[in-house]
Structure 1
Amino acid sequence: MPRFFPIDIHSSKTPNIGEFFVFGERNSGTNFADALLRNNFPQLSASANDRMAKHGFRYGWKHGFPQMIAAPDTTLAVVMFRDPERWVQSMHRQPWHGAKHLRELTFSDFLAAPWQSIVDEKNFGITSGADPRAYAELQWDRHPLTGARFDNILQLRNAKSAGFLSLKNRFSNVIFARYEDVANAPAEFINMIGQTYALTARAKFVSVDQQRGRKSDGKFVRHVYDDLTQTDRDFIWSGLDTKQEEILGYIP
């Protein structure tokens, strides 16, 4: 049986978990992790998800910089990361909320393009196309302090990862995990969470076989990506914060 290795775990002395929330960039397995926890911990099935409620997102936009109004000790924060090479390939294939022109670029041009997102779905609280905010630039993907656009998707990752890592200073109970580890050992992931946070999982493990963890999206089929060219790989790693990637476990 494979052993699950999280990046980092923080647990209060007497965890009293009443809900969880999953954070992480797009295409990093957040929906997969969310579905795993809902399927296997019945007591957490009513936790807030990534759908905007009447008064907004409960803990902020899960793909954004930390912006929750509070981080209760009873909330378990689950933070997901993904291998940077596969992540940028997945973002090129499906750049959720990315501006239209980004979707038309070759992979190499996509890597180097200034990042821009748009408000393109009702889940941002825009219910009508007549709303002047509809299809305007999504400010949550700009630098949270300066308001500047990121020079490229790699700079976006550097900043977002720093924001996600800061959650250990905000929540008393938080686990940082790599998508690859969770996907390869989902039952071990659930067992580890149960043991660490004193949560009782279902007697029989319930897997997640649907795309994005949703039946409406159909059965999950793993996408096979082409090998990166050396030029693209060099560009990616020259733009990444390597000290941060080492913390995430993507540099041995």
Structure 2
Amino acid sequence: MTRNETLLRLQKNRHVIDVRPQLVQVIGSICTVALFVGNICIYMRVQNNNSTTIDPRSYFNLHTDQGPLTLSQKLMEIKLDCSEIKSIYDLEKCYPNRLVRELGDSCLLVETWNDVQRCMTGRFTKEPLKHYQIHILGERNSGTKFVMRELQRCFPRFQFGVKVHRDFVRAKHFFQPIVAGDFKTNILIVVFRDPVEWVAAMREKPYHSPNHILKFENQSGAIVPLPWKEFVTRAWTTKRSEFDKKLVLEDRVKETMRGDICRERFAFHEVLPCRYDNTTSSIPDSRIRGFEPIYEMRRDGSGEPFDNILEMRSDKIVNLLLEMSMMMDLGGYMAVRYEDLLREGTKSLLTQVATMVGMDNVPEHCSASGPQANRIGRRKIPIELRQWVQTHSVTKTERLLGYLD
């Protein structure tokens, strides 16, 4: 090989060697830009979440890899018998590492309605945020519509950075799953009603509980109630639908834990039926919306029904009053009694809500509804029904609401 040929080959090799660092540098620059853009996107997403309200139901879908933390799932996980939760102390025993709220030394005892108002009601964030969602929750026939109308009238949609609407992770009447996440823009207003008046109202209109109706009139769809004794003693359950039976035959029950198969994001063992297909009961078309069966089951993971409506009510009080206020990272919480609003008017309610969203006073256009004491106790309730409810109600949970003292 001549000297010139050797030099030419060396130059070619040198050219190849020189290009490699440049390529590495270019690739590195591209990766750096991509990482920077990615971080910017993440930052903007976080900032957006901090400045706007979040639909809590989205958390249920975002956490499907591990699933939302529901009471029944947690009980199965830790193998403890916590099915008899009736007080805040039971909650602390069963969920020692899950409570997100400490009540302080002045609230070591939370056993009465005054304790609940003093220790568990108010805004939980130190500084008011720009936007809030207010969610109205409560059992059927408890006055949730009345409360929602009052709040929506005084806080029009987003006019004051506040959106008032029903529902939370599930529809407003049902057990709410305990979902991990930041809910500081979410305020819960939970409405309760005297157990005697509530049971009597449920007997007349047992929404989503058609197995507790004697019959629907064929043409009008009017409800013919069950005799009161049969209503209060009949197990809080109905039959599985053909859709449910097919899930069992196809070994797909575990799939319902994702929350996208059964009604209201329930799992198979949490509700009857999982999905309604008109095979469990005959409901007139005009009544399906309000009376499609959604029977919530015991929350111990057993898949067994409540023995009666009062057992279901007691667990609902635990869920909406104790679990929601103590185990969810909320922006605020307030429990109200329907009778108090009728007896005293809604000024106190509106004032407390305004305080929770960071306002000095209620909006100028807002005028509270006055007392409507004439609406209390209008329903004719058989004395035997009244006595039965008073005797069979769960005292611990009712005392938290100031009932049956």
TM-score by length of 2: 0.48
The size of the alignment, in residue pairs, is 220
Equivalent position of 2:324 in the other structure: 167
Equivalent position of 1:217 in the other structure: none
Asked whether the 8 Å contact 1:39–1:206 carries over to 2, the reply is no
Asked whether the 8 Å contact 2:133–2:185 carries over to 1, the reply is yes
Structure-1 separation of matches of 2:227 and 2:182: 40
Residues 140-198 of structure 1 deviation map (CA, whole Å, 9 limit, x = unaligned): 52123322111111111111111111111113410011011123311231022213442
Q: Select which of 143, 156, 160 maps to 2:298.
A: 143
Asked whether the 8 Å contact 1:64–1:140 carries over to 2, the reply is no
SS in 2 for 1:74: strand
Indicate yes or no: 2:379 matched with 1:205.
no
Paired letter, 1:157: R
How far the C-alpha of 1:100 sits from its partner, in A, is 4.2
Structure-2 separation of matches of 1:177 and 1:73: 20
Equivalent position of 2:147 in the other structure: 33
Equivalent position of 2:62 in the other structure: none
Asked whether the 8 Å contact 1:139–1:147 carries over to 2, the reply is no
Superposed CA RMSD in Å reads 3.1
How far the C-alpha of 1:108 sits from its partner, in A, is 2.1
How far the C-alpha of 1:94 sits from its partner, in A, is 0.8
How far the C-alpha of 1:134 sits from its partner, in A, is 3.0
How far the C-alpha of 1:246 sits from its partner, in A, is 1.0
* The 10-residue stretch of structure 1 (146-155 or 182-191) with the greater mean CA deviation from structure 2: 182-191
Indicate yes or no: 2:176 matched with 1:66.
yes
SS in 2 for 1:194: helix
Residues 85-116 of structure 1 deviation map (CA, whole Å, 9 limit, x = unaligned): 00001101111111245344112221111123
SS in 2 for 1:73: strand
How far the C-alpha of 1:48 sits from its partner, in A, is 4.2
Structure 1 spans left out of the alignment, 5+ residues: 51-57, 126-130, 210-220
How far the C-alpha of 1:222 sits from its partner, in A, is 7.6
Residues 23-45 of structure 1 deviation map (CA, whole Å, 9 limit, x = unaligned): 11101111111121111113366
Equivalent position of 1:246 in the other structure: 399
Equivalent position of 2:353 in the other structure: 193
Asked whether the 8 Å contact 2:133–2:164 carries over to 1, the reply is yes
Equivalent position of 2:127 in the other structure: 14
Equivalent position of 1:92 in the other structure: 203
Structure 2 spans left out of the alignment, 5+ residues: 1-113, 215-224, 241-262, 265-273, 281-291
Asked whether the 8 Å contact 1:24–1:62 carries over to 2, the reply is yes
SS in 1 for 2:127: coil
Q: Select which of 19, 27, 49 maps to 2:166.
A: 49
SS in 1 for 2:207: coil
Paired letter, 2:123: S
Equivalent position of 2:8 in the other structure: none
Paired letter, 2:166: N
Paired letter, 1:141: E
Equivalent position of 1:134 in the other structure: 277
TM-score by length of 1: 0.74
After superposition, the Cα gap between the structure-2 partners of 1:107 and 1:19, relative to the gap in structure 1 and judged at 3 Å, is: same
Q: Which has the higher helix share?
A: 2
Paired letter, 1:90: A
* The 10-residue stretch of structure 1 (235-244 or 94-103) with the greater mean CA deviation from structure 2: 94-103
Structure having the higher Rg: 2
Equivalent position of 1:228 in the other structure: 382
